[in-house]
Amino acid sequence: MRSFKRWLDRSLAAQAVLIFLLGVGASALFRRDDHPVFWVVQGALYAAIAITFVAVQRRRASRAAGTDPHGLVELGRRIRHREVPSEPGERESMRRLVDDQLSLLERRRRWLPYSLGFMGLTAAALLALGVATGSVVFPLVFAAFVIGFCCWAVWMRRRTLDRYHYMRAALREEHERVS
């Protein structure tokens, strides 16, 4: 499983295949009456949009860190495992990456309440519409999903911030010890 996760983390093609398969499965599940070709086209569209987004983000982050995409994946793994690099060049790349990602998270912080509120209003409106029409099951499932997704997003943001703050402190400590 660990090698599968590493392969999935490094390969955009593997991510594209996984997103394509999930898109086809979701289309088949929710649009049973449509032709299977429509499922495949929709899955390909989802995969193309998601991989374009991931590739742009990865390129921006690798440019900020001053490394290639493979080095960026390795730096991300080290941040997740709280490993401080021993080489000065890698430490500098990690410091730049951590600073860039922390500033990005801080810039996005002010929009978080609005996006969470928008998702909550959408769920509440769908729930009210479901109560008015008499179909409550799907709106309740959707509202539970939205609440779960919002809690997961806040938890992941906090966890990511903790990792980046830990790595920033560890890099500063390492820099002061070397100097």
Q: Give the tens place of pLDDT for each residue, 77-111.
A: 899 999 988 888 889 999 999 999 999 999 999 99
- Asked if residues 91 and 84 have their Cβ atoms less than 8 Å apart, the reply is yes
Q: Is the pLDDT of residue 150 over 90?
A: yes
Q: What integer pLDDT is reported at residue 144 of this predicted model?
A: 92
Q: What integer pLDDT is reported at residue 179 of this predicted model?
A: 66
Name the token pair of 125. Answer: 């409106």
Which amino acid appears at position 103 of this protein? Answer: S
Q: Is the pLDDT of residue 138 over 90?
A: no
- Mean pLDDT check: name the lowest of 7-11, 39-43, 129-133: 7-11
Q: Give whole-number Cα distances, 127 to 82, 130, 150, in Å.
A: 42, 5, 17
Average pLDDT of the segment spanning 136-158: 92
Distance CA 113, CA 77 (A): 29
- Asked if residues 103 and 83 have their Cβ atoms less than 8 Å apart, the reply is no
Angular region, 172: left φ>0, alpha ψ -120 to 50, beta rest:
alpha
Q: Give the tens place of pLDDT for each residue, 20-32.
A: 999 999 888 888 8
Distance CA 24, CA 37 (A): 10
Q: Is the pLDDT of residue 118 over 90?
A: yes
pTM here is 0.80
Average pLDDT of the segment spanning 112-141: 90
Per domain, the residue ranges of the chain are: 1-65, 85-179
Q: Is the pLDDT of residue 52 over 90?
A: yes
